[in-house]
Amino acid sequence: MSEKSQAQILLERYWEEASNQGNYELVRELCADPIIRHDVDGGVTELSHDEQIARVKMGVEDFGVHIDRIITHADDTYVTSIWETKSAKDENMNLCGIEVFKVENGRLAHCWNAPYGKGKWG
């Protein structure tokens, strides 16, 4: 089995440690400031560390979100992940999506994603 790329390790730590385990301050180590989110409609949102921490914290504390990675593939610069979420607070809240992250200077710097789908992957 080959070693994981730095990009994959960053994303796994972001979702498992910063989000699922609630170590929100880890965002400052793993993400660029700002991290740039690219949306389907051509919109771009820049989130500072504080804004990204608030976003992750809201998902966990307000909605009880837990992220399960289904497939993750990465090279040295890009990491793509297919994921599902479930909620500890609402058993009917299931979302799924695909996100692509670009690493710059050793941090997650860009994220591209389509609108999240309701349900789970087949």
43/47 Cα distance (integer angstroms) = 13
Residue 23: domain span = 6-118
Does residue 1 fall inside a structural domain?
no
Specify if 60 maps to a domain: yes
Mean pLDDT by 10 residues, the chain (122 residues): 87 95 98 97 96 96 91 95 90 91 98 90 80
d(CA 122, CA 59): 24
Q: Residues 6 or more apart from 50 whose CB is under 8 A from it? A: none
pTM: 0.91
Domain count, the chain: 1
Structure tokens at 20: 């699922």
**Residue 76 sits in a domain of what CATH number?**
3.10.450.50
Is residue 52 domain-resident?
yes
Measure the CA dihedral 68/21/34/69, to 10°.
-10
